[in-house]
Amino acid sequence: MPDVVRARRRTLRTLIVAQVLGTLGIGAAPSIGVLLAEQVTASETWAGIARSSTTVGAALIAFPLGALAARRGRAHALTLAWSLAAAGAVALVAAAATGSTPLLVLGMLCTGAGTAAGLQSRFAATDLAEPADRGRSLALVVWVGTLGAVVGPNLGVPGESVESWFGLAPLSGAFAISAVLLAATALTLRLGLRPDPLLLAQRHTAADPEQAGRGGRPLPGRAGIASALRQVRSVPAAAFALTALVLAHVAMVSVMTMTPVHLSHHGHGVSVVGLTISLHVVGMFALSPVVGALADRLGRVPVILAGQAVLLVAAAVNFLGAGSTVAVAVGLFVLGLGWSVVTVPAATLLSESVPARSRPLVQGTGDALMNAAAAVGAIVSGPMLALVGFPGLAVVSALCVVPVLGLALRRPGRPGPRGTRRRR
């Protein structure tokens, strides 16, 4: 349909621009935010709370964001989320100036809204996509976020110039830049997502009996996480996808969070740590378009299972090479790649396995669980490193594969919902 084709192209262009701006804007939180937390709080306990607040904020807002999208559309939900993130960046500038810990925690929580919006944007790319192209559309939005993930943490350098120009407090310049970028992201989505891709998709699928009946009756717009989880459990493909999505995130976060600590214990400085994390980020994002294309051509489930194999390889490298810096760097790259090979097809499969009107709520549930798992993984990984060491963390990441393989063996032999294999 001509209106759908035009809207699809406009949506993808808008999401690509917004994803680049947005990921740049929130990219300062994991690096400069850590330093700011230590400067403002002067307490390791409060600094730890502040550092985890971004992840907690993303987990708390993910489902409400999906529910809002279900009622009002993607444009409304994403604009609100990125606006909250911009307000969070302003709060961080104020926290640096006043030394206020409550403002710091509030700012980091609000910045988490940007993380949640970035995750929801990948689903927005699939709203109008052809079933055979959903994996590639989702992967494209994931891939363009690479720029922010790599460049964003370095906003501290231009931030120092901003601090000198405007007389801002140390470490606040990066967040002043972030506030402008995040506000621009919100404006881009508000103006560019017209017509709204989700609302347009719902209008076109409302009369489709196959879409209406898939996964049972659609969830009401005000349904909660419990209702969304019940619907996911009732659809084997959706349950499999959600399990793979969350556990791949746990496997990645549990090892990645403590890698800098492990390397520092072996006498390495920030240059080695930075290079290792950069390789990990490249593994997570750089090949996502290839993964999306493979998921469209070969099917979602086969690629998810291939991702489990990659995660096992990463666990083996990290277990056997824990004492080698090169091996740890290679293991972290492979871990990021395994995360990508699982999450791109799993997110696509989760979305297309439920009725169209239920998708925003189910997607929000998946993102909330991913971020909650990341928060728990980040908190637990520290004591585990002290208890079982880096090889023990590698074993934990390998164990995350077991439930996914178990569900795969229990799935029926049929390929699953339309779109899990490329139609010919």
Q: Is 123 left (phi over 0), alpha (psi -120 to 50) or beta?
A: alpha
Q: Are residues 351 and 400 in the same domain?
A: yes
Q: Are residues 76 and 159 in the same domain?
A: yes
Q: Are residues 179 and 278 in the same domain?
A: no
Q: Are residues 144 and 233 in the same domain?
A: no
Q: Which domain holds residue 254?
A: 221-413
Q: Are residues 177 and 261 in the same domain?
A: no
Q: Are residues 187 and 268 in the same domain?
A: no
Q: Are residues 174 and 253 in the same domain?
A: no
* Count: domains in the chain: 2
Burial 96-107 (b: 16+ CB within 10 A, else e): beeebbebbbbb
Note whether residue 352 is domain-resident. yes
pLDDT digits (tens, 9 = 90+) for 400-414: 999 999 999 886 544
Q: Is the peptide bond before 195 cis (omega within 30 degrees of 0)?
A: yes
Q: Are residues 33 and 127 in the same domain?
A: yes
What pLDDT does 220 receive? 59
pTM of the complete model beyond 0.75 = yes
Q: How far, in Å, CA of 310 to CA of 248, rounded?
A: 11
Q: Are residues 25 and 121 in the same domain?
A: yes
Using 70 as the pLDDT threshold, list the residues of the chain that sit under it: 30-31, 34, 43-48, 51, 153, 205-223, 268-271, 273-274, 411-424
Give the pair of three-digit tokens for residue 156: 């501290």
Q: Are residues 130 and 262 in the same domain?
A: no
Note whether residue 421 is domain-resident. no
φ, ψ at 416 (rounded to 5°): 100, -165
Q: Exposed, middle or buried, 35 (CB in 10 Å: 0-12/13-18/19+)?
A: middle
pLDDT digits (tens, 9 = 90+) for 195-224: 999 988 888 765 444 444 455 566 655 667
Note whether residue 422 is domain-resident. no
Report the CATH number at residue 124.
Answer: 1.20.1250.20
Q: Are residues 76 and 191 in the same domain?
A: yes
Q: Are residues 123 and 263 in the same domain?
A: no
Note whether residue 212 is domain-resident. no
